[in-house]
Amino acid sequence: MNKILIDTSKIDLIDEIVIIKKIPDRLVLNIKVNVYCGFTEFHNKELIINLDKNATLTIEFLITMNNTKNKIMINNQEKSQLDLHYACIYEGNNELVIENTIPTSNNKNNIFVRAVESSGNFFINATGIIEENTFDNTYLEDIKALTKNRNSMKIMPNLIVKSSRIIANHNATISPVDENDLFYLESKGLSNESATSLIKEGFLKGIVTNDELKSLEVKTNE
């Protein structure tokens, strides 16, 4: 098993930014400090994130999925914070599974997924489990997809809450590119292709915070 251990006793990763380009098929991240991780490739991978007490992780993906099956499992320890931003263009048959377990208190989890169809199908299964005897957790799961064909995308947002002291919110939307947005950009002289491409790129990069990742070219096949 490949394992990357991020541990302050060995590597000082406070305020560190890690852009990971080549990763093993199964990756375990033990986060003990404040860490940023960015992925530009993530194909048929299993990622396990263990957030230690007080750890903060921002993890971002700006990737193309092509017949890809990815799985992300998250375990939260007390007072940890996770910001997971998963932006992808998909073609072929794809699947993303997110399993997030919160067995402790005072955690913050913000999970954003943005998917743009190039062609093909995508199934997203996102599950958040907030265990009993926990309190003051906040959990937000926001999944949005821009598709050409509504049937190409299926989203299953599951939220299993066993505690009454939590702020939890989850939503999922599937839609084509907004006609009003297209009209506005075309009325400024942009071609339909340029306008569609700008909207899709903006939709994906809207959840990305890292400038290096943001500056990468995204090919939306317009």
Partner 1 sequence: MLKISNLIVKVLDKIILDDFNLEIKPGEIHALMGPNGAGKSTISKVLLRDSSYQITKGNIILNEKDLLKMNTTEVAREKVFLISQNPIEISGVSNAEMLRTSLNDQGNKDMNVLEFNRYLISLCEKLNISKDFIHRDINYNMSGGEKKKMEILHMWVLKPKFIILDEVDSGLDVDSLKIVANSIREYYEEYKPSILVITHQKTLLDIVKPDFVHVLNNKKIDKTGDATLIEKVFNEGFSRVSTITRSEDNE
Determine if 142 is a binding residue for partner 1 (CB under 8 A).
Answer: no
Instruction: Count, in order, helices (H) and strands (E) of the chain.
Output: 3, 14
Options 7-15, 28-36, 133-141, 173-181: segment touching partner 1 (CB under 8 A): 173-181
Residue number with CB closer to partner 1 (35 or 218) = 218
> If binding means CB under 8 A, how many residues of this protein chain bind partner 1?
22
- With CB under 8 A as the contact rule, the residue among 191, 209, 212, 219 that binds partner 1 is 191
CB 141 within 8 A of CB 128: yes
CA dist list (Å): 130 to 96, 100, 101: 20, 8, 6
Which tokens go with 154? 């299926």
- Taking only Cα atoms into account, the Rg of the chain, rounded to an integer number of angstroms, comes to 18
- With CB under 8 A as the contact rule, the residue among 5, 167, 184, 221 that binds partner 1 is 184
Neighbours of 12 (CB within 10 A): 9
CB of 201 to partner 1, least distance (A): 7
Determine if 180 is a binding residue for partner 1 (CB under 8 A).
Answer: yes
Interface residue list for partner 1 (CB under 8 A): 179-181, 183-192, 194, 198-199, 201-206
